[in-house]
């Protein structure tokens, strides 16, 4: 059989596996995998530098399927190429990542072929995709990571990082605004190692794209500063290869390859505009499509002899040679650049260097205090000095979020100097979230920062970081109505509740500068969990830790900050962040009146819920039903802690535009309000239970 015949046989194997899997599941999208099979085949077999035996080889090319509904395209490739499974401990196993029985159980419980590709679930999947636009956003972060790692680690004769990033995307990705944000930044940075392949099939769920999409995508991307080329027929392997060679030879900008295709192309009788995109073809159409491919019509999940061997001789052999050469070069690199090699090994395994937390500040008691965004900036700079691969940026808000790395040599990541660790995302919160995920997927310890109110703009990538177990650091400042004059549009009310609702995301809202230190200490230790740091713009008092409890209690999510004599309180005052100081003031006033109160600082509900029941009941004794919670945000969720007899002091409306103290007075965030609420619940606590 000639190479051309093997090419077509392999392409049709991808198509038929995809059709059969979707049909058997009676769920999924067969059209895109069928149409894109020649495109993905060409990338994998002839260009992708990827070793199936070691799918986490550090300098591998990345392949991102941004239109994740075409997941069977990727699963078919992973199976046919023989990609091996990797354990969480970064050890490669001998078994296949995607077995034929997994494909047969597409979209079924515990199959390695879920409805959309999921990182850490199926080896060879570089990122979780599905929400359109997120994958291409991730790809920009991956491409940026390569340039930073090359600048930091490469040395003469040792090109440790020079990988490329390929992303397949569709009309849906192009319509989502995040693709424009990400593409604009990629063009600005001239990321020549980035190639998006746009499946221009003109079909979405509702029908033809003409219903809502008529822009000139090519001109749009030329305006972004991309190189744009076109392939008029997705089945033209020669033109596909030529376009990909253009990408490889382009050194000053990213490349967009527009590929014209048709849903279910290759089965000329079936040019559906809706059903083939979002639902199975049906048994009869599957048989007709197979007949058009010259395939046995009744054969299911057939992998003809020679197909696996063809992939092994092409991409498999190429990838193994490149991987082996890189490993050998790394051994020489370790001998010559031991410190850099140690950094690289730690970074790739998400480990911290020795002494990563040395010289962290301790803040003295101070009634005036400082904003937690300011103390966070100081701590961040100390840690980043000790952890060379901790880097990130802001959505045009470095001066406000205090997240700029200011020590000598930190620098800015720019098109002409990609070694800097300060990244400017522009006013692109959504893309920032996806790009930071891409940096983290490349094993850089990455953070992104903006105002808490704008976490709404980046909820999808926050959620995906949690799904993927990525240790991304989200730094959100201007965390409450304390924003003052900026008014309701900039004062977050419901955002804390929304973040706390994300499974796997840890939210930390520190009460003072020393709690900030402990929040960062906890955050940096996370290897597989994202964290959101919630910080103030306004100054908050630094608690006198000689008088009250140590801030190390932060690691348990909630702790007793100030207690009643003998540890037997009659009323509990619960708060997070800037409102803890209100509770301390109320506590002191109540103590002067002979009322036995306890102040509990609760920087993280999630961490508190992880603690043993005994600890939780020690902090919040069930017998003490007189409770008051204080937080300048929605009261949603506080009922679990204050109970039916408690009182929540929080926000029930949006804020107001006025100086800080006036806003706090208007909404009742005063020590006197807390004292009054404590007296009220103490009265209620003596009443018989309804």
| Alpha carbons 661 and 77: distance in angstroms, whole number | 61
SS (H, E, C) 185-236: HHHHCCCCCEEEEEEECCEECCEEHHHCCCCCHHHHHHHHCCEEEEECCCCC
DSSP 3-state of 161:
coil
* Residue 624, SS3 per DSSP: coil
Are 267 and 286 contacting, i.e. CB atoms less than 8 angstroms apart? no
Angle (CA) 403-516-149 rounded to 5° is 40
Alpha carbon of 591 to those of 284, 565, 599: distances in Å?
A: 80, 10, 12
Has 429 been annotated as catalytic?
yes
Q: How many C-beta neighbours within 10 Å does residue 236 have? A: 16
Q: Cα(264)–Cα(271) distance, rounded to whole angstroms?
A: 7
- CA nearest neighbour of 59 among 253, 330, 247, 248: 330
| Strand-pair partners of 600 | 560, 574
Residue 335's CB: how many other CB atoms inside 10 A?
A: 9
What is the Rg, in whole angstroms, of the alpha carbon atoms belonging to the chain? 28
Any residues with CB less than 8 A from the CB of 137 and at least 6 apart, and which?
Answer: 178, 179, 181, 182, 430, 431, 433, 434, 435, 437, 438, 461
What count of residues does the chain have? 690
CA-angle at 304, arms to 303 and 308, nearest 5°: 70
Calculate the CA 574 to chain-centre distance: 31
Beta-carbon count within 10 A of 361 CB: 13
Q: Where are the beta strands (DSSP E) in 435-538?
A: 445-451, 473-477, 506-508, 531-534
| Phi–psi pair at 55, nearest 5 degrees | -70, 0
From CA 396, how far away is CA 411, in angstroms rounded? 16
Residue in 429, 515, 579, 606 annotated catalytic? 429
Backbone angles phi, psi at 110, to 5 degrees: 70, 0
Are the CB atoms for 281 and 264 separated by under 8 Å?
yes
Residues belonging to the active site: 429
């Amino acid at each position: 059989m000639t190479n051309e015949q093997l090419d077509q046989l392999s392409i049709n194997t991808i198509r038929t596996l995809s059709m059969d899997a979707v049909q058997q599941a009676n769920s999924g999208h067969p059209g895109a995998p069928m149409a894109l099979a020649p495109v993905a085949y060409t990338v994998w077999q002839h260009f992708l530098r990827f070793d199936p035996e070691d799918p986490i080889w550090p300098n591998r090319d990345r392949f991102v399927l941004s239109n994740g509904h075409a997941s069977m395209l990727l699963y078919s490739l992973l199976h046919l190429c023989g990609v091996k499974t990797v354990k969480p401990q970064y050890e490669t196993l001998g078994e296949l990542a995607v077995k034929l029985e997994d494909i047969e159980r597409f979209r079924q419980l515990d199959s390695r072929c879920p409805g959309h590709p999921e990182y850490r679930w199926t080896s060879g999947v570089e990122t979780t995709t599905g929400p359109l636009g997120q994958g291409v956003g991730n790809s920009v972060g991956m491409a940026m990571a390569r340039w930073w790692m090359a600048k930091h680690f490469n040395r003469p004769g040792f090109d440790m990082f020079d990988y490329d990033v390929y992303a397949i995307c569709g009309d849906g990705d192009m319509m989502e605004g995040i693709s424009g944000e990400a593409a604009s930044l990629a063009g600005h940075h001239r990321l020549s190692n980035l190639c998006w392949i746009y499946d221009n099939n003109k079909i979405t769920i509702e029908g033809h794209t003409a219903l809502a999409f008529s822009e000139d995508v090519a001109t749009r991307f030329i305006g972004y500063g991309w190189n744009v080329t076109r392939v008029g027929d997705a089945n033209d392997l020669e033109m596909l290869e030529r376009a990909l060679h253009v990408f490889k030879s382009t050194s000053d900008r990213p490349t967009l390859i527009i590929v014209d295709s048709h849903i279910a192309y290759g089965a000329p009788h079936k040019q559906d505009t809706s059903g083939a995109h979002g639902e199975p073809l049906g048994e009869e159409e599957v048989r007709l499509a197979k007949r058009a491919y010259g395939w046995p019509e009744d054969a299911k999940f057939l992998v003809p002899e020679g197909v696996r061997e063809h992939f092994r001789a092409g991409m498999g052999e190429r990838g193994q040679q490149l991987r082996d050469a890189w490993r050998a070069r790394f051994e020489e690199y370790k001998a010559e650049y031991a410190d850099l090699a140690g950094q690289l090994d730690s970074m790739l395994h998400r480990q911290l260097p020795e002494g990563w937390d040395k010289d962290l500040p301790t803040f003295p008691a101070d009634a005036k205090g400082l904003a937690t965004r300011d103390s966070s900036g100081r701590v961040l700079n100390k840690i980043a000095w000790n952890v060379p691969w901790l880097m990130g940026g802001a959505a045009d808000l470095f001066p406000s979020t205090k997240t700029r790395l200011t020590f000598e040599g930190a620098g800015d990541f720019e098109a002409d100097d990609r070694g800097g660790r300060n990244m400017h995302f522009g006013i692109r919160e959504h893309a920032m979230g996806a790009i930071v995920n891409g940096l983290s997927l490349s094993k850089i310890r990455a953070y992104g920062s903006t105002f808490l109110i704008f976490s709404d703009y980046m909820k999808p990538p926050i959620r995906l970081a949690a799904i993927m177990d990525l240790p991304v650091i989200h730094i959100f400042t201007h965390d409450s109505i304390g924003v003052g004059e900026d008014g309701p549009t900039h004062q977050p009310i419901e955002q804390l509740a929304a973040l706390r609702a994300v499974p796997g995301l840890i939210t930390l809202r520190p009460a003072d500068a020393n709690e900030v230190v402990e929040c960062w200490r906890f955050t940096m230790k996370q290897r597989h969990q994202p964290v959101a740091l919630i910080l103030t713009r306004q100054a908050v008092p630094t608690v006198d830790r000689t008088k009250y409890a140590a801030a190390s209690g932060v690691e348990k999510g909630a702790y007793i900050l100030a207690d009643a004599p003998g540890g037997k309180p009659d009323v509990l005052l619960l708060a997070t962040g800037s409102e803890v100081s209100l509770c301390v003031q109320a506590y002191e006033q109540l103590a002067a009146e002979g009322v036995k109160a306890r102040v509990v600082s609760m920087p993280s509900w999630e961490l508190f819920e992880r603690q043993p029941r005994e600890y939780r009941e020690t902090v919040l004794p069930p017998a003490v039903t007189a409770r008051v919670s204080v937080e300048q945000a929605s009261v949603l969720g506080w009922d679990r802690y204050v109970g039916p007899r408690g009182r929540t002091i929080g926000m029930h409306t949006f804020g107001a535009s006025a100086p800080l103290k006036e806003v706090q007075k208007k909404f009742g965030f005063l020590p006197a309000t807390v004292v009054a609420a404590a007296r009220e619940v103490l009265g209620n606590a003596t009443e018989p239970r309804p």
